[in-house]
């Protein structure tokens, strides 16, 4: 399991496409299955975005890109694959059907990872023949540029696969984070959801527009979060007293009604239209592809700028470049 | 009120020091008052950090730095100041006493801004002689490097001061965001608090350490938040369907118990020790000054990298540089 040459991608959406881009960039052949008729064009657009992004992300020599092939079923894609990445919709029933299909053709020691954003792996693996080789490997959009991947074991997962994942995902330029306790939403999405829920309330209550809410992040706290999380941010803001001083100063505010703790806005058609409409307005007429390119340019610029610095994703990029240069020299 | 030459800073902590650094960098003389005996050394350390940061933030010519003077009372510092920035502890009673002192000596048309993170300006201005000139101008640490400043009017504030603030703060390299509806916590801190509360629960429940929680941000979502907020992030993640697709896909998850909605962890001594201790461990023996320099280097690198790009703080920096070059040419 230490030398993956062929991987299957089940579900060719934004996440599946992003996984494929990262894998072929690192010389791993990809076998895709998606039941939807229109998937391939979108999938290819993700690959094109990724190819463009990698060309400017790194100065290191790039490996020869591996091939992508399309297959008629999950079983066909899984056949001969040492790693099978599931990126289908967030419904346990759909995912379980997919695992059953995969297990009809996959080698018994093929590793299966779910890209789920928050469903517990124990639930996903419950009906599998070989549940010990299923784990969550949760990436972040765009998968080809963001380094984080959360690794989560279910109660039947063999922990050797977590150890394998730490090495494998680091090898394709990622930063694996082992979520040691299995909880719904894992770590990153719980944090993201907390922010999103509050953002939706602010918009719902007409306190601010989508654009004002985003400005409140991107021009301030967001610049800190690109290099460090909430805990270290507040530890520094506390001056000499660090986090202890911050807890003394702002801890009581956590109990004030500063956020809508008790409830979530009802997603009525009107509200969805309001939120969707404001986000479309914010996009100022740019197409999804154009928006993605601006985002990618910024993500590349930030990671390059942080390269070799002491904190965060810049370290991951520096390590990955060193590894690519080593590989090129070894050839 | 359009040509501020002298400003008072009442409260010389991390925030007051950061304001002072930004003002003197832009040729505005600063008069400081702080009752604490040990403030000046920390204040000077912030100025030194800021001077070092500005030297690498921009290639544009820097203006001659204005002077800082220390005064024996809030009234003495406020005298002759066209702008008075209050950065004292987050207690309305303390702030009201400070405003009363300021009003004994300040010109009746001097502008008074509070740096409060979340107290309503209507509450702060309630007992003032000239409440119409008090507004909130809430900055973010480090004030000398982060562009965001939230402007909030109270029910007695003359709206002309909000308009003034939009121009003035942009003129010193910031990105003013007018929070149109007065609510506690304003926009940015509500969003930050939502994230912090969830982070504290994850740590409290021993799901993850401070460092793991921070990793879940800085290597993934944080890199997106440096250029765009939650709304645009998910609009892009939704692919062709945008935010509407995301609400359909993940909206129901908002109602799942993914976050501890109902409560906040009790800040017992044990828990504060646990959180504080983990944050200190995370800092790996570096002093607050050393940590601040790493943070500043990263904030500079990110803003320089985004300079001239289409979204976020890079735009603010590009505009500020153009303005500084214009000023140098005009001299």
What confidence tier does A247 reach under pLDDT thresholds 50, 70, 90?
A: confident
Cα first-last separation, chain B: 22
Digit-coded pLDDT (tens) for B181-224 = 999 899 999 899 888 888 888 888 889 998 899 999 999 999 99
Q: Is the pLDDT of residue B235 over 50?
A: yes
Q: Is the pLDDT of residue B170 over 80?
A: yes
What average pLDDT does this structure show over B260-264?
52
What average pLDDT does this structure show over A244-250?
79
Tell how far CA A258 is from the center of its chain: 30
Residue B301's nearest CA partner among A235, A310, A142, A145 is A310
Residue B154's nearest CA partner among B191, B186, B177 is B186
What size, in residues, is chain A? 331
What size, in residues, is chain B? 331
Q: What share of chain A is helix, strand, coil (3-state, %, to 5)?
A: 55, 10, 35
Digit-coded pLDDT (tens) for A181-217 = 999 899 999 899 888 888 888 888 889 998 899 999 9
For chain B, what are the domain ranges?
A: 6-178, 189-285
Q: Is the pLDDT of residue A228 over 50?
A: yes
Taking only residues 201 to 240 of chain B, the set having a beta carbon closer than 8 angstroms to any beta carbon of chain A reads 202-203, 205-208, 210-232, 234-237, 239-240
What average pLDDT does this structure show over B239-265?
66
What average pLDDT does this structure show over B16-24?
96
Higher pLDDT, A290 or A50: A50
Query: From CA A292, how far away is CA B55, in angstroms rounded?
Result: 33
What confidence tier does A260 reach under pLDDT thresholds 50, 70, 90?
A: very low
Q: Is the pLDDT of residue A309 over 80?
A: no
Do A301 and B298 make contact, defined as CB atoms within 8 angstroms?
Answer: no
Higher pLDDT, A113 or B252: A113
Nearest residue in A to B282, CA atom: A232
Do B214 and A223 make contact, defined as CB atoms within 8 angstroms?
Answer: no
Q: Is the pLDDT of residue A170 over 50?
A: yes
pLDDT at B287: 77
What confidence tier does B264 reach under pLDDT thresholds 50, 70, 90?
A: low
Question: Which of A89-96's residues contact partners 24+ apart within 8 Å by CB, and which partners?
Answer: A89/A11, A89/B249, A90/A116, A90/A117, A90/A118, A90/A119, A90/B249, A90/B250, A90/B253, A92/A119, A92/A123, A92/A124, A95/A119, A95/A124, A96/A124, A96/A126, A96/A127
Q: Is the pLDDT of residue A268 over 90?
A: no
A278 near A214, Cβ under 8 Å?
Answer: no
* Strand A6-10 to A29-33 pairing: parallel
| Nearest chain A CA: its distance from B315 CA (Å) | 10
Query: From CA B13, how far away is CA A194, in angstroms rounded?
Result: 30
Partner-chain residue, chosen from B181, B235, B244, that has the shortest CB–CB distance to A207:
B181
**A207 contacts in B (CB within 8 Å)?**
179-181, 183, 187
pLDDT at A161: 97
Tokens 């004292």 correspond to B88
The answer to whether A282 faces chain B, any CB pair under 8 Å, is: yes
What average pLDDT does this structure show over B265-272?
74
Query: From CA B221, how far away is CA B43, in angstroms rounded?
Result: 33
Q: What percent of chain A has pLDDT over 90?
A: 52
The answer to whether A44 faces chain B, any CB pair under 8 Å, is: no
Fold topology of A188-330: 1.10.1040
Digit-coded pLDDT (tens) for A109-126 = 899 999 999 999 999 999
pLDDT at B262: 47
Do B177 and A216 make contact, defined as CB atoms within 8 angstroms?
Answer: yes
Query: From CA B5, how far away is CA A313, in angstroms rounded?
Result: 42
pLDDT at A254: 63
pLDDT at A262: 47
Phi, psi (deg, nearest 5) at residue A305 = -65, -35
Query: From CA B228, how far away is CA A240, in angstroms rounded?
Result: 31
Residue B256's nearest CA partner among A204, A97, A183, A93 is A183
Residue B138's nearest CA partner among A253, A220, A228 is A220
Query: From CA A300, how far away is CA A294, in angstroms rounded?
Result: 10
Higher pLDDT, A190 or A138: A138
Tokens 């930030």 correspond to A302
Task: Select the residue from B207, B231, B291, B297 to test the A interface by mutation, using most A Cβ atoms within 10 A.
Answer: B231
**B224 contacts in A (CB within 8 Å)?**
140, 146, 295, 299
Tokens 């996959």 correspond to A106
Partner-chain residue, chosen from A282, A291, A312, that has the shortest CB–CB distance to B219:
A312
**A147 contacts in B (CB within 8 Å)?**
219-220
Do A249 and B90 make contact, defined as CB atoms within 8 angstroms?
Answer: yes
Under CATH, to which class is B189-285 assigned? mainly alpha
Residue A124's nearest CA partner among A96, A145, A101, A162 is A96
Tokens 């904190």 correspond to A311
Higher pLDDT, B274 or A189: A189
Q: How far is CA A281 from CA A104, A155, A202, A285, B178, in A?
A: 47, 45, 17, 7, 19
The answer to whether B299 faces chain A, any CB pair under 8 Å, is: yes
Query: From CA B175, how far away is CA B317, in angstroms rounded?
Result: 10
The 10 Å Cβ neighbour count of residue B60 is: 16
pTM here is: 0.91
Q: How far is CA A54 from CA A138, A167, A198, A300, in A?
A: 21, 21, 35, 9
A271 near A31, Cβ under 8 Å?
Answer: no
Which helix (H) or strand (E) element contains residue A188? helix A188-204
| Nearest chain B CA: its distance from A58 CA (Å) | 15
Q: Is the pLDDT of residue B3 over 50?
A: yes
What average pLDDT does this structure show over A282-305?
81
Query: From CA A50, how far away is CA A44, in angstroms rounded?
Result: 10
**B249 contacts in A (CB within 8 Å)?**
89-90
pLDDT at A264: 58
Strand ranges inside chain B, DSSP E = 6-10, 29-33, 68-70, 83-86, 111-114, 134-139, 148-153, 175-178
The answer to whether A301 faces chain B, any CB pair under 8 Å, is: yes
Query: From CA B187, how far away is CA A95, in angstroms rounded?
Result: 38
pLDDT at A1: 59
Phi, psi (deg, nearest 5) at residue B264 = -125, 150
Fold topology of B6-178: Rossmann fold (3.40.50)
Q: What percent of chain A has pLDDT over 70?
A: 95
Partner-chain residue, chosen from B234, B294, B302, that has the shortest CB–CB distance to A302:
B302
pLDDT at A110: 96
Query: From CA A25, how far away is CA B187, in angstroms rounded?
Result: 41
Phi, psi (deg, nearest 5) at residue B43 = -60, -45
| Nearest chain A CA: its distance from B107 CA (Å) | 32
What is the pLDDT of chain B when averaged over all its residues? 88
| Torsion sign over Cα A247, A251, A253, A254 | positive
Nearest residue in A to B220, CA atom: A148
Q: What is the 3-state secondary structure (H, E, C) of A289-328?
A: HHHHHHHHHHHHHHHHHHCCCCCCHHHHHHHHHHHHHHHH
Which helix (H) or strand (E) element contains residue B238? none
The answer to whether A302 faces chain B, any CB pair under 8 Å, is: yes
Residue A275's nearest CA partner among B241, B149, B52 is B241
Cα first-last separation, chain A: 22
**A119 contacts in B (CB within 8 Å)?**
none
Rg of chain B over Cα atoms, rounded to whole angstroms, equals 21
Digit-coded pLDDT (tens) for B282-301 = 777 777 777 778 888 888 88
Query: From CA A205, how far away is CA B56, in angstroms rounded?
Result: 42
Q: What percent of chain B has pLDDT over 90?
A: 52
pLDDT at A136: 98
The 10 Å Cβ neighbour count of residue A69 is: 12
What is the pLDDT of chain A when averaged over all its residues? 88
Digit-coded pLDDT (tens) for B302-311 = 888 888 777 7
| Nearest chain B CA: its distance from A107 CA (Å) | 32
Which helix (H) or strand (E) element contains residue A5? none
Alpha helix (H) ranges present in A61-120?
74-78, 92-105
What average pLDDT does this structure show over A284-300?
80
Partner-chain residue, chosen from A258, A275, A299, that has the shortest CB–CB distance to B243:
A275
Query: From CA A167, how far away is CA B147, in angstroms rounded?
Result: 39
Higher pLDDT, A78 or B244: A78
B16 near B34, Cβ under 8 Å?
Answer: yes
């Amino acid at each position: 399991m230490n030398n993956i040459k062929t991987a299957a991608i089940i579900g060719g959406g934004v996440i599946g496409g992003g996984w494929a881009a990262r894998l072929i960039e690192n010389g791993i052949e990809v076998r895709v299955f998606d039941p939807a008729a229109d998937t391939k064009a979108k999938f290819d657009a993700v690959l094109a975005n990724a190819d463009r992004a990698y060309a400017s992300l790194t100065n290191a020599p790039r490996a020869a890109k591996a091939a992508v092939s399309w297959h008629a079923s999950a079983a066909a894609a899984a056949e001969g694959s040492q790693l099978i990445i599931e990126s289908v919709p967030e419904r346990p029933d759909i995912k379980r059907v997919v695992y059953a299909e995969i297990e009809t053709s996959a080698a018994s020691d093929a590793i299966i990872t779910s890209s789920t954003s928050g469903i517990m792996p124990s639930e996903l693996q419950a009906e599998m023949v070989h549940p010990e080789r299923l784990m969550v490997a949760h990436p972040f959009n765009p998968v080809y540029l963001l380094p984080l991947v959360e690794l989560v074991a279910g109660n039947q997962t063999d922990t050797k696969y977590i150890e394998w994942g730490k090495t494998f995902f680091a090898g394709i330029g990622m930063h694996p984070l082992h979520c040691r306790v299995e909880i719904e939403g894992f770590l990153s999405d719980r944090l993201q959801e907390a922010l999103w829920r509050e953002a939706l309330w602010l918009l719902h209550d007409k306190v601010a527009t989508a654009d004002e809410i985003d400005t409140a992040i991107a021009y301030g706290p967001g610049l800190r979060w690109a290099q460090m999380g909430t805990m270290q941010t507040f530890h520094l803001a506390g001056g000499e007293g660090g986090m202890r001083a911050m807890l003394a100063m702002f801890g009581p505010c956590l109990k004030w009604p500063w956020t809508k703790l008790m409830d979530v806005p009802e997603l009525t058609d009107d509200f969805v239209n309001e939120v969707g409409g404001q986000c479309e307005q914010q996009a100022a007429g740019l197409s999804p592809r154009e928006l993605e390119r601006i985002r990618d340019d910024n993500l590349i610029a930030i990671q390059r700028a942080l390269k070799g610095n002491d904190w965060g994703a810049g370290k991951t990029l520096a390590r990955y470049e060193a590894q690519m240069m080593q590989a090129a020299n070894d050839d």
